[in-house]
Structure 1
Amino acid sequence: MCTSISFCDRGLYGRNLDLEYHFGEQVVITPRAYPFTFHHSEPLTSHHAMIGMASVAQNTPLYAEAANEAGLYMAGLYFPGNAHYFEEPDPGYLNLAPYELIPAVLGRCATAAEARALLETVRLAAIPFAPGYPLAALHWQVAGPDGSFIAEPMEDGLHFCDDVAGVLTNNPPYPYQVMNLNNYRGLSPRTPENTFAPALDLKVYGQGFGGLGLPGDVSPMSRFVRVAFCKQHAVFPDSRDGQVTQFFHLLDAVSMVRGTVITPEGRCDETTYSCCYDAKERVYYYKTYDSGCLHGVRLTEELAGGDALHCYPLADKPQFVWDN
């Protein structure tokens, strides 16, 4: 389970990754001349540099989410029971495995419009990275300076939705998530009037009455509603540091506390990391469940050159600042 948020006007994008295990995740910069190879298409030997969270297997970055130097962001989120991939390639399409999608799009495209045009030619193939690797059921949020959209692989191919909320979680498909927001149209950050019974002297005994009914659980639909509400009303300061910090507060509003969600296998589903990519400064920020401190990796011009991956292990130990 995961939550992804896009602020195209602010150039801020990021997500919570909620999972019951670690997958060797680390921050990985892929420079412009690193060669990407694909099962059913020609290698990509020159492309936009990108940065994001990935595991590295056989010297290949397997990105959970990433952004490129042009400011285009793409995140894959779990979409079980709905995601459909095709067993046989179709020569009329660009056939890509799910793990190939982020490099293919971010490597070639600079805007959401370019990404959507490319994805309209794509047919997703049921190919795992290697034997023993899972074929993850995913859908994707794609966002850039010109807007955001959702791509969902269904039985008849990729479906595209304008990302009107700037939010993606998991099931159900995106149109149902947006339709469900109608059930909460009366919520507000302000204290409501007493329309229940104006003749009764009903007291306001605290703040937050406008949000009564906002879901508090971490199921996908509830997280979608809660983070969409918070995103619509969040107040951002003028400073860039403050804006990044506020972005993480939004992610905190839908994070999973270890021990509150137990999978059928008896594992704790938790927010293993949260991240935010600042497209203006080309900095990838993250914090892990155990660290809690914000860490940053900058996509510099020097690192964007060359042909070798740059990998940064995560800081995952508690960190404290002592004032005495």
Structure 2
Amino acid sequence: MPYRPLAVLAACLLSLACLGPAEACTSIRIKTTDGAVIYARTMEYAEDMHSSVFVVPKGSPLVGTLPDGSAKGLSFPAKYGFVGMNAFHQPISCDGINEKGLVVGALLFPGYAGYQTFEPAEAGKTIAQFDMANWLLSQFATVAEVRQGLAGIRVCQGPSALRGVTFGPLPVHVAVHDAAGNSIVIEYTDGKLKVYDNPLGVLTNSPDFDWMRIYLSNSVNLSAVNASPKDLSGFKIDPTGQGSGMLGLPGDFTPPNRFLRMVALTQSASPVSGAQAGVTLAMTIINNVDIPLGAVRDVSPAGVERDVTQWVAVADTAGGRYYFRNYDNKNWRVVDVKAALAKAGSTLMIIPTTGPADYPDVTATAKPMP
């Protein structure tokens, strides 16, 4: 990585500290030894996002949103069907997997996102930033195709309200993974498109992705191997227990430290074989950034906002299965992408994510110990 002066690092830290309340999202990618690619992400937000699983069949007439809120931007009928999560009851996805195994996650990017200027003459090529997941999931099968396709659109700042629902500016950057394990991050800053290779497969929020990669240099000492005892002039110091190689791994919920924690855990976890083992590993690792209600708060004259992990999603790119759980029900549920698209036919559909916790009672299965 290129050397950056300390002054630049200090400036980035200062800008991060000056941000307003920043909602938290985290995404990871797991590769198994036999080539399965598994994606997982969390969605944190202080306001209830009213998310449902969103089923968008092939051929659905999708259109980009212009800054004035009109649906008169780029017309992009769905080349591929996809399943994901929407938000605020809107037909707009913030996460999902398509029938070709392409996975997209839009994560909040406050304080740094800066989209392209709106040019009326280019309205037919324009989408809002919150249309990006719909566009990517519906049009492309691979990361290579995404790279080529980005040159043909303009991404502008969309409205803060749509169809009577106010949701704010929604600054986002986007993680994209394909079924072969290729990964990129798409960011718009200062009106310019930036596309980064993401071999680690991890993304959180602000600052920008380039800064996050530099931040990893602070923790090159972390290791999955326990630290060795030290002999200091005849006085022996032993590690206090298991996990001493990861001593100093941050446990807070700031975006840089969630990024670091996910890199450390995805890179140190023992390799697994098979999609189901990959799903289990992804679920286990992503649990490490769950935010309990009340643990992250922003206090202002307007009141108290509490970030919370509203839902978590996991996608098996080869098997075409989309798993999810929410805050109130920790049991994972799964949607078969192919079957959901077949059921939808040509109609946009949703699958509710809310409902009471469902924990099977296995008391009656008790039997004498052999």
Distance 1:290 1:15, change over 3 A: same
**Given residue 82 of structure 2, which amino acid in structure 1 is its aligned partner?**
M
Measured in 2, the distance between the counterparts of 1:182 and 1:23 equals 35
> Which deviates the most, 87-96 or 147-156?
87-96
Q: Residue 229 of structure 1 corresponds to which residue in structure 2?
A: 264
- The answer as to whether partners of 2:101 and 2:179 remain within 8 angstroms in 1 is yes
> Which deviates the most, 41-50 or 60-69?
41-50
**Given residue 190 of structure 2, which amino acid in structure 1 is its aligned partner?**
E
Q: Give 1:2 deviation, angstroms.
A: 0.3
Q: Give 1:241 deviation, angstroms.
A: 2.9
1:202 to 237, 240, 258: 237
1:37 to 63, 79, 83: 63
Q: What are structure 2's unaligned runs of at least 5 residues?
A: 1-23, 66-71, 364-370
1:254 to 286, 289, 292: 289
Measured in 1, the distance between the counterparts of 2:148 and 2:105 equals 17
Structural mapping, 1:1-324, within 5 Å: 1-7=24-30, 9-39=35-65, 41-55=73-87, 57=89, 61-89=91-119, 91=121, 94-128=125-159, 130=162, 132-146=166-180, 147-194=182-229, 197=232, 199-264=234-299, 265-300=303-338, 303-304=341-342, 306-324=345-363
Q: What are structure 1's unaligned runs of at least 5 residues?
A: none
Q: Deviations over 1:294-313 (max 9, x none)?
A: 10011125724632012110
Distance 1:197 1:186, change over 3 A: farther
Normalized per residue, the structure richer in helix is 2
- The answer as to whether partners of 1:89 and 1:125 remain within 8 angstroms in 2 is no
Distance 1:197 1:280, change over 3 A: same
- TM-score scaled by structure 2? 0.81
Aligned length: 322
Measured in 2, the distance between the counterparts of 1:133 and 1:307 equals 28
**Aligned CA-pair RMSD:** 2.2
Q: Deviations over 1:199-223 (max 9, x none)?
A: 4311233101100010010110110
Measured in 1, the distance between the counterparts of 2:217 and 2:168 equals 36
Measured in 2, the distance between the counterparts of 1:260 and 1:124 equals 35
Q: Give 1:239 deviation, angstroms.
A: 4.6
Q: Secondary structure at the match of 1:269?
A: strand
Q: Provide the identity percentage.
A: 25
Q: Give 1:101 deviation, angstroms.
A: 1.3
Q: Give 1:235 deviation, angstroms.
A: 2.5
Q: Secondary structure at the match of 1:292?
A: strand
Distance 1:56 1:29, change over 3 A: farther
- The answer as to whether partners of 2:86 and 2:92 remain within 8 angstroms in 1 is yes
